[in-house]
Amino acid sequence: MKKKISFSGKGNSTSVGGAPINRFLPSWQAKAVGPFILLDQAGPIKVVGKKTGGTGPHPHRGIATLTYSIKGEVEHFDSLGNRSLVSSGGVQWMNSGNGIVHDERSGASGEFSQKEIYAFQFWINLPSKIKEEKPEYLPLQAKDIPEKQLAEDAGSIRVLVGDYQELTSKIPTYTEQFLFHIKINPGKKFSMDFPQKIEVATVLPTDSAIINTESFNAGELVAFDKEAGEVEIENLSDLAIDILLFGGENYTEPIVSQGPFVMNSEAGIALAYKDFNEGKYGEIDYSSKR
């Protein structure tokens, strides 16, 4: 039995660090899908010039950030001394834990006459006990992302978070969650069954598709009910299409968010600001080497 579609919709246009983005989550229809509480899409856009912008140094607490660079480069700096450049197909993952300052920049390390930026950022809510632990950081290049071809030449799947068949991502998880990048060849289908109470959504970043027999356009997020069932995605076009499929178990603890902090109470938010203002998250040393 196919899962019922609970809602669909376009993202909201906004900007981060002066760069235009399309924000799918949160929205008036949903504050989260499983533990995923924010989803931004940047590009695909061509950028002309030597360097492109970044977010600038800013704090986080209580979430994990995951930046997936489909095309282009993303450079990460943080107050723990981490610095890394991830190229097309790679992921920057950071558990902000009990507080960290970081900065992400596109093309910050080199000079580019022209390049394309196409990336997604997710915020993943952390269980309360993990919010109290020290931050962690993990960069993954494209070769580090588990990937396989689908049966019957249907396409391919990349496992960014979680598990799919024999593939397991290196990204740490603290609850049941998954994030897949699926490419579906012309005239082919992909389907997957989900158990009860697992929240599921798919994003059509640049292509239209048939999802559970209904037509959806490029730029839409499609979310499903919490009943057990199948999600089927069909490509009726003449070109391969890209899909992001993500979700997980419902986050059951209280959520209080303000700016870059996502905690479980107003007191937790107040403490996050207090610790940041007292300098407990540290500062970024941009002179450090990768």
Residue 114 clears pLDDT 70, i.e. is over it = no
Say how far apart CA 145 and CA 161 lie, in whole Å: 9
- Rounded mean pLDDT of 66-81? 95
Residue 111 clears pLDDT 60, i.e. is over it = no
Per-residue model confidence (pLDDT) at position 52: 53
Residue 110 vs residue 268, higher pLDDT: 268
Per-residue model confidence (pLDDT) at position 50: 52
Is residue 153 very low, low, confident or very high in pLDDT (cuts 50, 70, 90)? very high
- Rounded mean pLDDT of 201-221? 96
Say how far apart CA 272 and CA 179 lie, in whole Å: 28
State the burial class of residue 196 (Cβ atoms within 10 Å of its Cβ: 0-12, 13-18, 19+). exposed
pLDDT digits (tens, 9 = 90+) for 213-254: 999 999 999 999 999 999 999 999 999 999 999 999 999 999
Residue 83 clears pLDDT 80, i.e. is over it = yes
Is residue 290 very low, low, confident or very high in pLDDT (cuts 50, 70, 90)? low
Residue 116 clears pLDDT 60, i.e. is over it = yes
- Rounded mean pLDDT of 22-48? 91
pLDDT digits (tens, 9 = 90+) for 124-138: 999 999 999 999 999
State the burial class of residue 184 (Cβ atoms within 10 Å of its Cβ: 0-12, 13-18, 19+). buried
- Rounded mean pLDDT of 143-168? 98
Per-residue model confidence (pLDDT) at position 17: 65
The domain ranges of the chain are 5-277
Say how far apart CA 139 and CA 64 lie, in whole Å: 13
Contact in structure between 202 and 233 (CB atoms under 8 Å)? yes
Per-residue model confidence (pLDDT) at position 287: 84
Per-residue model confidence (pLDDT) at position 112: 44
Residue 109 clears pLDDT 70, i.e. is over it = no
Residue 43 clears pLDDT 60, i.e. is over it = yes
Residue 110 clears pLDDT 50, i.e. is over it = no
Per-residue model confidence (pLDDT) at position 108: 45
Topology of the domain comprising 5-277: Jelly Rolls (2.60.120)
